[in-house]
């Protein structure tokens, strides 16, 4: 079996401040760094030979991967970074305090924006200080103005198919360090999770999700490495 480890980045500064982060490049907090190292410690104890790693182009995911690989004694593992593994773009909500947003728009509307499968938040203003369109790391990319989980999946899946799946098909144990929604998109694809159920799947920080894949990249087993901090697992397809 080929092993795939999904690692959600540790707590970021904007997670701590309860702000919608999305594509904004918030860094890890001290707690987030500790969670990243804990993920690496857990992965080091797995009977696997991790020789490939993928992450987004966002600092919190990149640094999470660095710290995890350091704890694993695997800093030499080749790492591929790509924007298609970025967090979901929260559009006009980016930078807003979640409690204040709920007070302004209502809890129900905010819940729809956060947890529906195909309803995106309002688009970000072009002149917003949080608009990533002019960030040099996205040069030549058609940066979205907002995203739903569905549109996040639509840009994650081509990268999975073209870059990650061939590595796994070759039998290479692989780590993906990314974000709550880009990892949720991968879980939806791998486990055929229904649209109405996928938002209930949430990989916790500091607790890798380990998946055994068969030759056709179908999951045959799945578990969290820290059972004490586990959330509901996706059902095997």
| 87 labelled catalytic | yes
**H or E segment at 51?**
strand 50-55
Question: Tokens 């947890």 label which residue?
Answer: 115
Would you list the DSSP string of 102-156? HHHH-HHHHHHHHH-SS-PPPPPPTT-TT-GGG-GGGTTS---S---HHHHHHHH
Alpha helices in 45-119 (DSSP H): 59-72, 98-105, 107-115
Buried b (16+ CB within 10 A) or exposed e, 129-144: ebbbeeeeeeeeeebb
Select which of 9, 38, 89, 179 is catalytic.
9
77, 50 Cβ separation under 8 angstroms: yes
| 9 labelled catalytic | yes
Select which of 35, 38, 71, 87 is catalytic.
87
54, 175 Cβ separation under 8 angstroms: yes
* Rg, C-alpha atoms of the chain: 17
220, 213 Cβ separation under 8 angstroms: yes
Active site residues: 9, 87
């Amino acid at each position: 079996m080929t092993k795939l480890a999904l690692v959600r980045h540790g707590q970021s500064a904007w997670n701590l401040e309860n702000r919608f982060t999305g594509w904004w490049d918030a860094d890890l907090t001290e707690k987030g760094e500790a969670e990243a190292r804990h993920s690496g410690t857990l992965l080091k104890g797995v009977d696997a030979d991790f020789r490939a790693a993928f992450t987004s182009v966002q600092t919190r995911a990149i640094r999470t991967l660095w710290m995890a690989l350091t704890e694993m004694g695997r800093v030499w593992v080749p790492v591929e970074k790509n924007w298609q593994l970025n967090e979901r773009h929260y559009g006009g909500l980016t930078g807003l305090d979640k409690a204040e947003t709920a007070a302004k728009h209502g809890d129900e509307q905010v819940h729809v924006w956060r947890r529906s499968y195909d309803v995106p938040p309002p688009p970000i203003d072009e002149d917003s200080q949080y608009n990533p369109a002019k960030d040099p790391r996205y040069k030549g990319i058609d940066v979205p103005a907002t995203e739903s989980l569905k549109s996040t999946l639509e840009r994650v899946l081509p990268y999975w198919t073209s870059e990650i799946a061939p590595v796994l098909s070759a039998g290479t144990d692989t780590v993906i360090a990314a974000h709550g929604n880009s990892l949720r998109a991968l879980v939806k694809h791998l486990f055929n999770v229904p649209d109405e159920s996928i938002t209930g799947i949430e990989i916790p920080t500091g607790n890798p999700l380990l998946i055994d894949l068969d030759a056709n990249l179908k999951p045959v087993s799945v578990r969290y490495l820290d059972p004490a901090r586990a959330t509901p697992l996706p059902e095997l397809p």
